C-alpha cells in the first residue's frame, strides 16, 4: 500500500511538473507574440512596456494592438482545447470537437444571420448570437443523435453533427454569396482570426470563458466516472444526467465565446486533447488543464507564425491551424488506438 501511494505521488508530481513546464512555454510564446510583427520589438522593450509603460510608439503598439491580440489568443486557445476534451470525454468519441459536432457552424450561422438581418458591425454584438447558435445546435445534434434505439452513441452524434454542420455551412455560404455587406463584415472572422481584436472583444467574452473554464475543471472526477459507463458511474455515485448537463453548459460557454471572438477555428479542439492524453494518460483531472495550456500554446504560436511566414502580409490563425491540424486528423483516423479514450 505504501509503495502504491508513493508511486501515485510520483506520478502526480511528474504531471504537475509537466504542467508547470507547459505554462512556462506558454509564457515564452506570449512574449514572442508581443514582440513579433510587422515591426519587430526587442524582448527587453516588451518587458519594459509590461512593467513601466511610457507612452512611446513601441509601447503603444504593444498595449493597443499586440497585447489584446495575444491575450485573446490565450483565452480562445484554452477554451477550444477544453471544449474538445469535454466533448471527447462526454461522448466517448475520440473524433469529437466543436467543428465535427457542428457547434462552430451553429455559432457562425447565428452570427451571419444577425449581420444579415440586423446589420451588425460590432464584434462585441456577435457574442450573444454566437452563444445562441452554439446552444441551439448542441441541443439539435444531441436530440438527433439520441433518437431511436441505442441512444446517443458516439457515431450517431458525429453523424448528426456533421449533417447539421453541413446544412449550416451551406446557409452561411449562401448568405455570404448573395449579400456583399455580410461578406465584407465577416470574411476575416469566418476564416478564424485574431487580427483587429481590441480589449473590448477580450473583456466581452472573458466572463463566459472563465465560467466555462471553471465548470470544466470541476468536472474531471465526474467525467472519469462517466468514462466507465453509465451503470457503473451511477453505482459509484456519479450523477450522470447532471454531469451531462453541466458539461454541455461548459461546452456552449467555451465554444460560443471562442467562436464569437475569433471565428470558427478548426482542429485545435480535436488534436490537442489527444496530445494531452498521450503525455499524461486518460485521467480527466489532468487532461483538461493540459488541454487548455497546450491549446493556448498552439493558437498563440500559430498566430505568431502567421505573421512571419509570408514576406508581406500575414496568414490568419485559422489557416495555420488547419494546415497543421488536417494531417494530424488524418493520422488519428488511421490509428486504431484513436478509439481508446
| Residue 153 to residue 145: CA distance in whole angstroms | 7
pLDDT value at residue 249: 87
Structural domain spans, the chain: 1-334
Question: pLDDT (tens digit, 0 to 9) for every residue of the chain, 341 residues total?
Answer: 566 677 777 888 889 999 999 999 999 999 999 998 877 888 888 888 888 888 788 888 888 889 999 999 999 999 999 999 998 888 777 777 777 778 888 988 998 888 888 887 776 777 788 888 888 888 888 888 777 776 666 667 778 888 898 999 899 888 888 888 888 777 767 778 888 787 888 888 899 999 999 999 999 888 888 777 766 766 666 777 788 888 888 988 898 889 888 888 888 988 899 889 988 988 999 999 999 999 999 999 999 998 888 877 788 888 898 888 778 767 766 764 544 45
Q: Among candidates 90, 98, 173, which has minimal Cα distance to 130?
A: 98
pLDDT value at residue 242: 83
Exposed, middle or buried: residue 58 (CB in 10 Å: 0-12, 13-18, 19+)? middle
| Residue 106 to residue 165: CA distance in whole angstroms | 7
Name the 3-class secondary structure at 194.
Answer: coil
Architecture of the domain whose range is 1-334: Orthogonal Bundle (1.10)
pLDDT value at residue 96: 76
pTM score, whole prediction: 0.88
Q: Please report which residue ranges of the chain form alpha helices under DSSP H.
A: 2-35, 43-51, 57-61, 67-91, 103-118, 123-146, 154-178, 180-191, 199-218, 220-226, 230-235, 240-262, 268-280, 284-308, 317-334
Amino acid at each position: 500500500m505504501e509503495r502504491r501511494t508513493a508511486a501515485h505521488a510520483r506520478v502526480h508530481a511528474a504531471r504537475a511538473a509537466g504542467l508547470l513546464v507547459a505554462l512556462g512555454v506558454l509564457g515564452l510564446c506570449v512574449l514572442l507574440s508581443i514582440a513579433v510583427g510587422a515591426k519587430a520589438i526587442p524582448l527587453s522593450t516588451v518587458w519594459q512596456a509590461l512593467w513601466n509603460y511610457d507612452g512611446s510608439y513601441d509601447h503603444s503598439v504593444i498595449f493597443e494592438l499586440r497585447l489584446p491580440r495575444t491575450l485573446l489568443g490565450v483565452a480562445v486557445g484554452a477554451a477550444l482545447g477544453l471544449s474538445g476534451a469535454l466533448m471527447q470525454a462526454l461522448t466517448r468519441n475520440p473524433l469529437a470537437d466543436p467543428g465535427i459536432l457542428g457547434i462552430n457552424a451553429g455559432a457562425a450561422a447565428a452570427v451571419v444571420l444577425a449581420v444579415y438581418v440586423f446589420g451588425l458591425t460590432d464584434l462585441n454584438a456577435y457574442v450573444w448570437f454566437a452563444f445562441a447558435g452554439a446552444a441551439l445546435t448542441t441541443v439539435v445534434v444531441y436530440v438527433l443523435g439520441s433518437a431511436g434505439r441505442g441512444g446517443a452513441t458516439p457515431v450517431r452524434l458525429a453523424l448528426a453533427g456533421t449533417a447539421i454542420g453541413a446544412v449550416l455551412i451551406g446557409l452561411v455560404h449562401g448568405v455570404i454569396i448573395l449579400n456583399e455587406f455580410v461578406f465584407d463584415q465577416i470574411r476575416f472572422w469566418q476564416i478564424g482570426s485574431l487580427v483587429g481584436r481590441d480589449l473590448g472583444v477580450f473583456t466581452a467574452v472573458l466572463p463566459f470563458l472563465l465560467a466555462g473554464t471553471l465548470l470544466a475543471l470541476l468536472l474531471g472526477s465526474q467525467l472519469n466516472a462517466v468514462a466507465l459507463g453509465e451503470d457503473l458511474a451511477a453505482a459509484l455515485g456519479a450523477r450522470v444526467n447532471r454531469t451531462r448537463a453541466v458539461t454541455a453548459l461548459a461546452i456552449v460557454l467555451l465554444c460560443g465565446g471562442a467562436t464569437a471572438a475569433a471565428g470558427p477555428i478548426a482542429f485545435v479542439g480535436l488534436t490537442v486533447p489527444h496530445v494531452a492524453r498521450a503525455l499524461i494518460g486518460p485521467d480527466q483531472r489532468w487532461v483538461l488543464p493540459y488541454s487548455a495550456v497546450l491549446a493556448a500554446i498552439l493558437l498563440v504560436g500559430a498566430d505568431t507564425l502567421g505573421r512571419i511566414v509570408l514576406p508581406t502580409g500575414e496568414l490568419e490563425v485559422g489557416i495555420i491551424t488547419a494546415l497543421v491540424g488536417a494531417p494530424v486528423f488524418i493520422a488519428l483516423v488511421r490509428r486504431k488506438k484513436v478509439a481508446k479514450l
